[in-house]
Structure 1
Amino acid sequence: MKLSRTLSIILLIVANIAIDQISKIIVRGKIATNEVIEVIGDTFIMTKVENSGAFLGMGSELSPTLKWILLLILPVIVLGGVIYYIITNKTLDRLSLIAFCCIVGGGIANVFDRFMYGSVTDFFHIDLGGVFRTGIFNVADMSVSFGMILLIIASFKQKKLEKANA
């Protein structure tokens, strides 16, 4: 049975949201705020923080009105636009479509947290001994980042295809 394109888009977005929200429910229920759990020594840890801002806490000092506009209303408008774009643009290649679904799913999951809880629950942290170190992030952030990487790959593939056809 082949799923329709629109149903596939919806299912992929919903899967991204569900995986993120399930992980956050578990973390909220099992890990105390700022508790540190070493998963792989001090290289990969879990520690629950509530992020009232955006990426890496940026904007957490904004007034409630500006937070409402910049972290809820604007993202909802942008996510709605991207959903409209991916559903109506039938020429998108499969890789770009998957990328946009990951970005939208992760974005919706974090907007949902901001709306329901006033903050986003973050809990993963990676530190590769100073070579590479992340802020504290969550599954939705990974989904958005993965989607962005896929979009870059899709862009290079598209340019290569256009060059070959020229």
Structure 2
Amino acid sequence: MDATRPLSRRGMRSVAFLLAVCLVVVVDQAVKAAVRALYPVGEGETLIPGVLDLLHVENTGAAFSMARGMGPLLVVIAIAVLAGCVALVWREDIPLPLAVAIGCVAGGGVGNMIDRLFQGSVTDFLATRFVDFPVFNVADVFVTCGVAVSVVGYYLWNLKGERGPSAT
């Protein structure tokens, strides 16, 4: 194989997806490790008065603390979502920005899965004060934003009629 040959469209999508996943996981795990090292569970500090606090909590459930104590099932779900994201990026000739957005979803899922596997719970620490909302973390932000951007991006891509057989 020629080392100077440019990557195919599929190759570029795959690399962008993988980089997004890795970046999200690294940022998420670094911030969570810092929170665990600096603040005991239940403690934190005000970041923006009346808007956002840092509050270290450990969540054994999923979003909004649903499914508490079902860590193994949540790991299986995260693996299934990751596999679906990989398959979508590999099979569909999606635009590069959409591959990155899907990578953010997958990276967030992997970040929380790592917590469940190695910590027994997910480290959450961002607490809104202007609205009553569950405490969340960096991975949750990437999953939420990634899903929103992916849905809009996928819709716009289909609307343009660019969807077709996967290009390699």
TM-score between both structures, scaled by the size of structure 1? 0.83
User: 1:159 Cα shift?
Assistant: 4.8
1:153–1:77: structure 2 CA closer, same or farther, 3 Å change rule? closer
Equivalent residue, structure 1, for 2:117? 115
- 1:97-112 maps to which residues of 2 (within 5 A)? 97-112=99-114
Equivalent residue, structure 2, for 1:153? 152
Equivalent residue, structure 1, for 2:127? 125
Structure 1 window deviating more from structure 2 (91-100 vs 135-144): it is 91-100
Superimposed CA distance per residue, residues 58-78 of structure 1 (whole angstroms, 9 cap, x where no aligned partner): 011x4xxx541x211232123
Equivalent residue, structure 2, for 1:53? 61
User: 1:8 Cα shift?
Assistant: 2.4
The answer to whether structure 1 residue 82 and structure 2 residue 85 are counterparts is: yes
Equivalent residue, structure 1, for 2:42? 34
Does the 8 Å CA contact 1:52/1:119 hold for their aligned counterparts? yes
User: 1:156 Cα shift?
Assistant: 4.0
Does the 8 Å CA contact 2:17/2:102 hold for their aligned counterparts? no
Q: Which amino acid aligns with 2:47?
A: V
Does the 8 Å CA contact 1:95/1:150 hold for their aligned counterparts? no
Identity %: 27
Superimposed CA distance per residue, residues 28-79 of structure 1 (whole angstroms, 9 cap, x where no aligned partner): 000121113101113110000000001011011x4xxx541x2112321231
Aligned-partner SS, 1:17: helix
Q: Which amino acid aligns with 1:35?
A: E
Structure 1 window deviating more from structure 2 (138-147 vs 27-36): it is 27-36
Aligned-partner SS, 1:22: helix
Q: Which amino acid aligns with 2:30?
A: I
User: 1:153 Cα shift?
Assistant: 2.2
Equivalent residue, structure 2, for 1:138? 137
TM-score between both structures, scaled by the size of structure 2? 0.82
Greater relative contact order, per chain length (Cα 8 Å cut-off, separation 6+): 2
User: 1:85 Cα shift?
Assistant: 2.3
Equivalent residue pairs, number: 153
Q: Which amino acid aligns with 1:113?
A: D
